[in-house]
């Protein structure tokens, strides 16, 4: 990784050219040739200084100022402030969506994590911690920890639960590798270890010290787009993912790869987003070849359910190429 981190100093490259040629001149060459060398060097220096004007940085496109003025006018004028949004079709009743993800490739052995702190607890009795970014059930090939959530809910059946969801850490590992919660739902962040941890949920500014055996409550204030990382800065190998949704229409696939989202709004078009930590897709999106579901490259598919229907998508096969090796 190191070689990539050079700070480009164009200064140096322009300085060295004239100097190196002037040394050549002193070492006995005849005058006319020397002066040609010199002038040549100066022309090279000019050549180098020309692209220097462009800078080493990648410049993005400049704004279209005329369009900007028109847009500013539109945003500040009271009239036409909001374009009339078309009414989305709304259905009645509720339905369930379920299915099962299986992994078509060979998962390989999980890599052991480097545990170099608090070893008396974290690698007690020779205990080893393993990388959990790809968990495939040996017998059923089920792919665990695939996240699936609804993008466009028009209505919600259940109110936000008030009882706390438990998010625990033990033996220097978060017990839930991927967890989902609703915005406004209290999450009891626990520490069942005899040592202290801190829990840092990216994108939320939550980073709290959790003393041994204690807990603290976190409530997500807004939705995360895709799942965000949960880490412990004291023990850098600890990692989990969290996803917070307003409506709670979210599932994390179980150890056998199965998932089920109940009480979905029926009779209207639904769009789901699918994500996995190790996906090769854009930002972790899982895209499958499912033309009838219009499954696209952003990892989204569309479906409409009938009232009281339990739709089983069956076995959804995630190809080996969709997961980073």
Q: Which 8-state DSSP code applies to residue 184?
A: T
Alpha-carbon gap, residue 294 to 321, rounded angstroms:
20
**Measured from the CB of residue 20, what is the shortest distance to other proteins in angstroms?**
12
Kindly state whether residue 28 participates in binding other proteins, applying the rule CB under 8 A. Answer: no
Comparison of 138 and 297: residue with beta carbon closer to other proteins: 297
In whole angstroms, how close is the CB of 109 to other proteins at the nearest point?
Answer: 19
Q: Please state the closest distance from residue 255 (CB atom) to other proteins, in A.
A: 27
Q: Pick from 112, 161, 194, 319: which binds other proteins (CB under 8 A)?
A: 194
158 lies in the site for other proteins, by CB under 8 A: no
- Position of tokens 């994390």? 252
Assess contact for 213 and 192: CB atoms under 8 A. yes
Cβ distance 267 to 306 under 8 Å?
Answer: yes
Report residue 240: phi and psi, to 5°. Answer: -145, 175
Q: Which of 46, 38, 47, 33 is nearest to 19 (CA)?
A: 38
Q: Does 85 bind other proteins (CB under 8 A)?
A: yes
Question: What is the rounded CA–CA span in Å between residue 46 and residue 14?
Answer: 9
Residue 40: CB minimum distance to other proteins, A:
9
Strand partners, 140: none
As measured in angstroms, the least distance from the Cβ of 105 to other proteins is: 14
Nearer to other proteins by Cβ, of 196 and 267: the residue is 196
**# binding residues, other proteins (CB under 8 A):** 87
* Closer to other proteins by Cβ: residue 127 or 212: 212
Angle in degrees, CA 91, 95, 97, rounded to 5: 125
| Span 5-24, contacts to other proteins by CB under 8 A | 5-8, 10-11, 14-15, 18-19, 22
Residue 233 touching other proteins (CB under 8 A): yes
Q: Quick one: 103 exposed, middle or buried, by C-beta within 10 A (0-12, 13-18, 19+)?
A: buried
Q: Which stretch, 137-145, 208-216, 239-247, 256-264, contacts other proteins (CB under 8 A)?
A: 208-216
| Whole-angstrom Cα Rg for the chain | 29
In the window 260-289, what residues touch other proteins (CB under 8 A)? 271, 280, 282-283
87 burial class (0-12, 13-18, 19+ CB within 10 angstroms)?
exposed
**Subset of residues 105 to 144 that bind other proteins, contact rule: CB under 8 A:** 117
- Give, as ranges, the residues between 48 and 67 that touch other proteins (CB under 8 A): 49-50, 52-53, 55-65, 67
Residue closer to other proteins by CB (options 256, 271) is 271
């Amino acid at each position: 990784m190191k070689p990539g981190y050079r700070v480009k100093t164009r200064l140096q490259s322009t300085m060295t050219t004239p100097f190196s040629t002037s040394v050549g001149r002193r070492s006995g060459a005849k005058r006319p040739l020397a002066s040609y060398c010199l002038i040549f060097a100066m022309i090279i220096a000019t050549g180098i200084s020309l692209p220097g004007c462009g800078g080493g940085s990648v410049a993005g496109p400049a704004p279209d100022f005329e369009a900007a003025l028109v847009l500013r006018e539109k945003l500040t004028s009271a009239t036409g402030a909001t374009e009339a949004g078309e009414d989305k079709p709304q259905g009645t009743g509720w339905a369930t969506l379920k299915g099962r993800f299986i992994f078509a490739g060979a998962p390989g052995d999980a890599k052991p994590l480097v545990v170099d702190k608090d070893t008396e607890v974290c690698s007690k009795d020779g205990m080893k911690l393993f990388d959990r970014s790809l968990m495939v059930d040996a017998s059923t090939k089920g792919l665990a920890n695939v996240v699936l959530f609804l993008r466009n809910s028009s209505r919600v059946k259940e109110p936000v639960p008030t009882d706390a969801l438990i998010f625990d850490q033990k033996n220097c590992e978060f017990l839930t590798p991927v967890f989902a919660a609703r915005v406004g739902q209290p999450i009891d962040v626990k520490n069942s270890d005899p040592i202290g941890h801190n829990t840092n949920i990216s994108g939320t500014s939550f980073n709290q010290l959790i003393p041994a055996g204690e807990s603290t409550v976190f409530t997500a204030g807004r939705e995360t787009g895709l799942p965000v990382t949960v880490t412990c800065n004291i023990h850098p190998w600890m990692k989990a993912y969290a996803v917070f949704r307003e409506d709670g229409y979210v599932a994390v696939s179980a150890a056998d790869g199965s998932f089920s989202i109940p009480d979905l709004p029926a009779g209207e078009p639904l769009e789901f987003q699918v994500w996995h930590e190790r996906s090769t897709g854009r930002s972790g999106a899982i895209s499958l070849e499912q033309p009838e579901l219009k499954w696209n490259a952003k990892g989204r598919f569309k479906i409409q359910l009938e009232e009281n229907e339990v739709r089983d998508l069956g076995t959804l096969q995630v190809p080996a190429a969709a997961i980073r090796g």
